[in-house]
Amino acid sequence: MQKRKLGNSNLEVSAIGLGCMSMSHGYGPAGDKKEMIKVIHAAVEQGVTLFDTAEIYGPFINEELVGEALAPFRNEVVIATKFGFRIDLNQMKQTGVDSRPENIKRVADESLKRLKTDVIDLFYQHRVDPNVPIEDVAGTVQDLIRAGKVRHFGLSEAGANTIRKAHAVQPVSALQSEYSLWTRQHEKEIIPAIEELGIGLVAFSPLGRGFLTGKLDENTPLAEGDFRNNLPRFTQEARKANQPLVDLIRKFAASKQATPAQIALAWVLAQKPWIVPIPGTTKLHRLTENNAAASIILTADELQEFETASAQIQIVGPRYTDQMENAAGL
């Protein structure tokens, strides 16, 4: 597996990381713990060094899974986790954002225990908290870095102005935001801003939450508890309307003797040398398929052909409902 540096930081990771959320959260029932540990161990064997989790995934159980699975390889891998939500411990769900300094410090200490480590390699603010100045957030993470509890500061789904303000206080190593062939709104302002500042991009949902793999169509049932049931892009009508993008990806996949998932990941990798996608999976064969995308090269002509063709396709449906965006501080 090739390596990439996240911007100007000295944080070097595998070209493709592993998003671990789906192993415990968001896509129906949590996976079998032993099986999920097997997948994580296989990822290490295949050269993956960036593993992404968060306290909210579960909540808590995903960090515990990642900590246990990676304990034998701790010095070989980069563990990223996140703070910034308020969690109702009775209902075990998030009830809004909370990036008050005291909460950030508490989460850091608790995450360190769950992850079975003495330092968090990359600590993201999961969502911007409109009630806490970003300078205070950056300053708090800076304190944690000075205390040796955190190595790198990250932001997730933050806007360009917020990124600039945070970066002025404590250099931001990485921005984690959704980026894929059907989610490209960050190309206008945010990607140019982080390129200017020397910040890497960790792309979550690079496979469009599974849609860009070609394994979902308008008739594919989603499991009970799968949060995609609540997303506007995953209504039956929206999936049918967005099928032309998948058909285009399939066409390119056939020409490259690759799978649609591999082409979708190769496209993300081709955009900038400091972008690292973190597809998630619970299956060993999908892990191997995804990681093979790192060796697929899309030529300049192929990328331009793809750009021209995809520009004719109108993506139907927003990423989230308004209520979800408000609740998550988006």
**What single letter denotes the amino acid at residue 241?**
A
Q: Residue 215 contacts by C-beta under 8 Å, 6 or more apart in sequence?
A: none
Helix axis angle, 284-291 to 260-271, nearest 10°: 40
What 3-state class would DSSP assign to 83? strand
**What single letter denotes the amino acid at residue 258?**
A
Q: Are 16 and 277 in contact (CB under 8 A)?
A: yes
What 3-state class would DSSP assign to 226? strand
Q: How far is CA 281 from the centre of its chain?
A: 12
Q: Is the Cα dihedral 235, 237, 242, 243 positive or negative?
A: positive
Q: Are 122 and 151 in contact (CB under 8 A)?
A: yes
Annotation marks residue 57 as catalytic: yes
Q: Residue 207 contacts by C-beta under 8 Å, 6 or more apart in sequence?
A: 180, 213, 261, 264, 265, 279, 290
| Tokens read off for 108 | 């850091």
Alpha-carbon distance values, 189 to 18, 196, 206, 308 (Å): 26, 11, 19, 21
Q: Which of 57, 124, 179, 320 is catalytic?
A: 57
Please list the active-site residues: 57
